[in-house]
Structure 1
Amino acid sequence: MGEFMGDMGREQKSQSSGTAVPRRALIDPTSRVPLYHQILIILRNQIFSGELRPGAALPGEQELAERFAVSRITAKRALNELADAGLAVRERGRGTRVSDTPPAPTIKTSVEGWLENISLMGVATDVEVLEFDYVPALAEVAEALLVKQGTIVQRTVRVRSLDGEPMSHLVTYVPEDIGRSFDRDEMGSFPLLTLMERHGVKVADARQSVSATLAEPEIARALSIHAGSPLIDVRRIVRDVDDRPVEFIRVLYRPDKYQFEMNLKRVRRREGMQWQSLGQDPSGRSNDK
């Protein structure tokens, strides 16, 4: 039982049930993530990707149990959770189908535009400030802001929502002298970059890393998702014109609410043909201003 299991074929009509069959997907019985939740994530991702379209019939409990080699109780819970999330409708005698209501829209941005799109975020989203205080800088924060560990910095925790649903969890740190120039209410009304620039900070550039992580219970509650759900993990250090770090931010995005796109072209270089972002010049440097 230590092997990955699953038997989902490509999207087609099952001869036995007439239900839509998603592409092949696997679950891991050795994972710490519950089996029902692994199935839930697979189905949810296929709904958001369009592989399972609105109104499509989903496999029944018994069929789902057989495909994933799980108990019928596990399969039932996965389908119930999918329905509780508003992504499916369960009807006695008629089975389970994908909800006719399409998923909430996502915010899309280019990689070059991933630094806060202030106008779009300000108009399309709402912000709730969960925490606003001054704390000693721990090692990671101190290294990012180039201050001594234990130096007091301003820390804010926020949740940004799109159409009433949480889309991102943000934790920001700024040097104390900058943080004292605005308050908690302002942090709930304006993007941090806007507040800093209003108070004379001249933002010049940033270094950013992008990876993936799983939602811890506290963050999962804030984002209205299940613990263990995948998240886009973005960490960014913003510097001013004097090369001083003025902000360190970690943003966790729900991938069903936030996506990025990249335009590429094929170019010839000394090493041969390569893909190049349209936001870069031939030397590989960014053209963004």
Structure 2
Amino acid sequence: MNVAAYSVVEPCAPTRLDPASPVPLYQQLLVQLQNRIDSGEFGPGTVLPGEFDLSRDYGVSRITAKRALDELAEAGLVKRERGRGTRVLERAGASAVRTSIDGWLENISMMQATTEVRLLSFEYLNAGPDIASALELDDGAEVQRSVRVRTLDGVPMSYLVCFLPADVGRAFDAAALASTAMLTLLEQAGHPVASARQTVSATLAAPDTAQALEVNAGAPLLEVRRIARSADDRAVQYIRALYRPDLYHIEMSMTRKAGSDGPLWAAEEGTS
């Protein structure tokens, strides 16, 4: 055995798991270990803590620790060998979509050209308070709701839940949405998107979302909420998009500039 090819990492203070969570403990542990691998804390060649150490550090049974390690191995992230432990494997860099904060319409057009979309559901329903507020409608107003999954090189990268006012949505049907980009359909319906406001945050994958994105329940996701407006300033689309952070990156270039209160960081125009 070439000892120089291996390294053993002493476990840092782990985040305690939540027994009250609907996400099983082995999946919570699996997500934490995967995050530590993705962050580089456990690099290629590193031998992970064993079942006994994980069960002690995270307060779970050895069966739970074993299942988490076994699933990491099934996912191709580690290799388990008797007498040699669980070793992190080298991984080829995955393709990823990179987008910027500005140039949103151009970014969406680029994504439509490089990815494929699958329609999971399409329906009309009465809007709850949050959706009605986002679309500036009365509570209970009818809206179109669609759920789509966008894939990159055959791998699911985003889970898109979209709401439109009913009169806007009825300009097209499910078959059109399954084959044509939403922005194109809105334009054809006489509601071309002229502006949008979005927020970016982080969330955890619920079981149904995790299944659609082929990740573990409780895995971290990038969440984008966006309200798009037409040229007459009408809110015509509200979308909640959940992205796999390994396949979707938001980038921003910044410049340090002098300000009245000292140097400030400002986004460069045309960030990409």
Higher alpha-carbon deviation: 238-247 or 122-131? 122-131
The question of 1:42 aligning with 2:18 is answered no
Higher alpha-carbon deviation: 254-263 or 99-108? 99-108
CA contact (8 A) 1:90 1:96 kept: yes
Q: Which amino acid aligns with 1:106?
A: A
CA contact (8 A) 1:19 1:58 kept: no
- Alignment partner, residue 131 of structure 2: 141
Q: Tell me, in whole angstroms, the C-alpha distance in 1 between the residues paired with 2:246 and 2:15.
A: 20
Question: How far off its partner does 1:24 sit?
Answer: 3.2
Question: How far off its partner does 1:56 sit?
Answer: 4.0
Call closer, same or farther: CA 1:189–1:87 in 2, change over 3 Å: farther
The question of 1:169 aligning with 2:173 is answered no
Call closer, same or farther: CA 1:216–1:69 in 2, change over 3 Å: closer
Q: Tell me, in whole angstroms, the C-alpha distance in 2 between the residues paired with 1:169 and 1:66.
A: 36
Q: Which amino acid aligns with 1:37?
A: Q
Question: How far off its partner does 1:22 sit?
Answer: 7.2
Which structure carries more helix by proportion?
2
Q: Which amino acid aligns with 2:16?
A: D
Question: How far off its partner does 1:94 sit?
Answer: 4.1
* Deviations 1:167-220, CA, capped at 9 Å, x for gaps: 111111112222122222222233211221233323211111122222222222
RMSD: 2.8
* Aligned pairs for 1:117-136 within 5 A: 117-136=107-126
Structure 1: gaps of 5 or more residues: 1-13, 280-286
Q: Tell me, in whole angstroms, the C-alpha distance in 1 between the residues paired with 2:110 and 2:13.
A: 35
Call closer, same or farther: CA 1:137–1:70 in 2, change over 3 Å: closer
* Deviations 1:130-167, CA, capped at 9 Å, x for gaps: 11122222211111111222222221111112222221
The question of 1:76 aligning with 2:69 is answered no
Higher alpha-carbon deviation: 224-233 or 19-28? 19-28
Higher alpha-carbon deviation: 100-109 or 201-210? 100-109
Q: Which of residues 7, 27, 47 is equivalent to 2:15?
A: 27
Call closer, same or farther: CA 1:87–1:124 in 2, change over 3 Å: farther
- Alignment partner, residue 205 of structure 2: 215
- Alignment partner, residue 150 of structure 2: 160
Q: Secondary structure at the match of 1:243?
A: coil
Q: Which amino acid aligns with 2:14?
A: L
Higher alpha-carbon deviation: 69-78 or 164-173? 69-78
Q: Tell me, in whole angstroms, the C-alpha distance in 2 between the residues paired with 1:242 and 1:226.
A: 42
- Alignment partner, residue 224 of structure 2: 234
Give the percent of matched residue pairs that are identical in Structure 1 and Structure 2.
Answer: 51
Q: Secondary structure at the match of 1:188?
A: helix
Q: Tell me, in whole angstroms, the C-alpha distance in 2 between the residues paired with 1:68 and 1:152.
A: 47
Q: Which amino acid aligns with 2:81?
A: E
The higher-RCO structure (CA 8 Å, 6+ apart) is: 2
Q: Tell me, in whole angstroms, the C-alpha distance in 2 between the residues paired with 1:176 and 1:150.
A: 12
TM-score (ref. length: structure 2):
0.85
CA contact (8 A) 1:134 1:155 kept: yes
* Aligned pairs for 1:182-261 within 5 A: 182-261=172-251
Q: Tell me, in whole angstroms, the C-alpha distance in 2 between the residues paired with 1:110 and 1:144.
A: 23
- Alignment partner, residue 111 of structure 1: 101
CA contact (8 A) 1:129 1:187 kept: yes
